[in-house]
């Protein structure tokens, strides 16, 4: 009977002290060994001498204590092992929920002859010495009104024209692709593509394109304006997105897709964050970043006389001192303007000076 009363008293102390069941047992043993008994009066505790317990009572108490400690310790070990194991396990792959459209990348096998994929098949790069062979497709069919979002990562000034976007009902497979979407693919059934204006495809520009329920191809650029490209897309078959990294467009990054509903929006799996640390500056660093080009020289000469600086492996020791171009945010700013701002790369400076004529920061005239 006393053993059960001790267990109940132990449970009471566990609740009062907010501690596991095993902790009050040593306290109770010491209490009986020292012949001290606690009597609770309200919230105050008074100490009153008690009778010395018998040997059998102490043995029963110690037996209960060791049995409880054994099971509690094993359970604690098991819980700690499970907790550590879960922390060391790799994170599970993304599981699509009801609001997820599924992963969206470029098709890894159906790519142009001069295209290389990176960043989990979300970035497509085409060599700059050619304007063709830049075809890529989506890894899965897209739905009507599912807006595919792209960002132009890199441009070249050696070619005219920009990328082409569209859709196809022909499943992408590992096969020999033609060099151009227009007219090589558009002349065959099941392919629809249209060119995007060059001004909407500058480095750093983001755009989205989709096909409506009526079979019309639209695209929207960064300023929010919606443009109609073509009609007559067949919706009776699954549609794959088709991008031709053509002309001055040398690299595009697939940001994902989104479809808007009446009460909610559904998106594709999250795209990886764009790296803006030292590695990004190392990729875009140029061996001649210390050589500044005269603004008047850019105004007087043509585009073709100033090719893009080739990437190099030069590393910057201080990441905070490296400034990106204010337009494309990807190349290093190496052009000093008359107003004193050094905020443009060679590629963007050529376009800004010839088409706008003002500094992108202070709007001062820089043509003269």
Q: Do 241 and 250 meet the contact criterion of CB atoms below 8 Å apart?
A: no
What is the four-CA torsion angle of 177, 181, 183, 186, rounded to 10 degrees? 90
* Class of the CATH-defined domain 100-268: mainly beta
Reading the block at residue 282, the tokens are 């190392």
Q: Which residues of the chain have pLDDT under 50?
A: 1-4, 7-8, 10-23, 34-45, 47-49, 271-322
CA distance 158 to 175: 29
Closest Cα partner for 269 from 97, 142, 141?
97
Residues linked to residue 219 through DSSP beta bridges, in sequence order: 209, 227
Contact 107, 138 (CB under 8 A): yes
At residue 300, the pLDDT reads 46
CA dihedral of residues 90, 100, 205, 219 (deg, nearest 10): 160
Q: Sign (positive/negative) of CA torsion 338, 341, 342, 347?
A: negative
How far the first Cα of the chain sits from its last, in Å, is 103
Residue 78 confidence (pLDDT)? 72
Per-residue b or e along 7-26, where b marks 16 or more CB atoms closer than 10 Å to that residue's CB: bebbeebbeeeeeebbebbe
Q: Give the three-state DSSP class for 124.
A: strand
What pLDDT shows up at residue 343? Answer: 82
Number of H helices, E strands in the chain: 6, 18
139: tokens are 């890894």
pLDDT at 270: 63
**The pairing of beta strand 206-211 with beta strand 191-195:** unpaired
Instruction: Provide the 10 A C-beta neighbour count for residue 160.
Output: 10
Distance CA 194, CA 183 (A): 10
* Distance of alpha carbon 266 from alpha carbon 146, whole angstroms: 9
Cβ atoms within 10 Å, residue 91: 5
Residue 148's SS3 state is strand
Domain residue spans in the chain? 2-88, 100-268, 278-355
CB 292 within 8 A of CB 285: no
Within 13 Å of residue 285, how many CA atoms lie on the same side as its CB? Answer: 18
Q: How many residues does the chain have?
A: 368
**CA of 290: how far to CAs of 75, 280, 335, 350, in Å?**
65, 18, 10, 18
- How far is it, in rounded angstroms, from Cα 6 to Cα 53? 12
Looking up tokens 């227009």 gives 182
């Amino acid at each position: 009977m006393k053993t059960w009363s001790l267990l109940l008293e132990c449970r009471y102390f566990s609740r009062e002290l907010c501690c596991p069941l095993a902790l009050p047992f040593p306290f109770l043993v010491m209490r009986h060994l020292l012949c001290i008994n606690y009597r609770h009066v309200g919230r105050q505790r008074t100490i009153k001498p008690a009778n010395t317990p018998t040997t059998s009572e102490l043995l029963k108490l110690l037996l209960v204590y060791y049995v409880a400690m054994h099971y509690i310790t094993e359970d604690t070990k098991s819980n700690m092992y499970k907790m550590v194991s879960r922390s060391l396990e790799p994170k599970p792959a993304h599981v699509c929920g009801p609001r997820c459209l599924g992963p969206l990348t470029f098709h890894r096998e159906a790519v142009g002859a001069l295209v290389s994929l990176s960043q989990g098949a979300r970035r497509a790069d085409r060599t700059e010495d050619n304007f063709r062979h830049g075809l890529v497709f989506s890894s899965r069919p897209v739905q009507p009104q599912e807006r595919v979002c792209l960002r132009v990562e890199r441009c070249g000034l050696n070619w005219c024209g920009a990328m082409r976007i569209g859709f196809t009902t022909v499943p992408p497979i590992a096969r020999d692709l033609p060099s151009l979407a227009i007219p090589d693919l558009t002349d065959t059934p099941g392919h629809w593509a249209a060119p995007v204006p060059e001004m909407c495809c500058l480095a750093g520009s983001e755009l989205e394109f989709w096909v409506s329920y009526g079979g019309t191809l639209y695209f929207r650029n960064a300023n929010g304006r919606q443009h109609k490209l073509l009609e007559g897309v067949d919706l009776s078959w699954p549609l794959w997105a088709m991008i031709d990294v053509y002309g001055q467009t040398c690299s595009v990054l697939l940001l994902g897709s989104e479809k808007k509903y009446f009460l909610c929006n559904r998106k594709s799996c999250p795209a990886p964050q764009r790296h803006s640390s030292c590695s990004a500056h190392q990729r875009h660093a140029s061996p001649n970043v210390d050589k500044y080009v005269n603004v008047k020289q850019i105004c007087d000469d043509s585009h073709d006389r100033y090719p893009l600086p080739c990437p190099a492996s030069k590393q910057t020791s201080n990441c905070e001192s490296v400034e990106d171009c204010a337009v494309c945010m990807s190349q290093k700013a190496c052009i000093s303007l008359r107003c004193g701002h050094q905020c443009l790369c060679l590629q963007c400076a050529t376009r800004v000076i010839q088409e706008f004529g003002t500094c992108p920061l202070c709007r001062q005239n820089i043509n003269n």
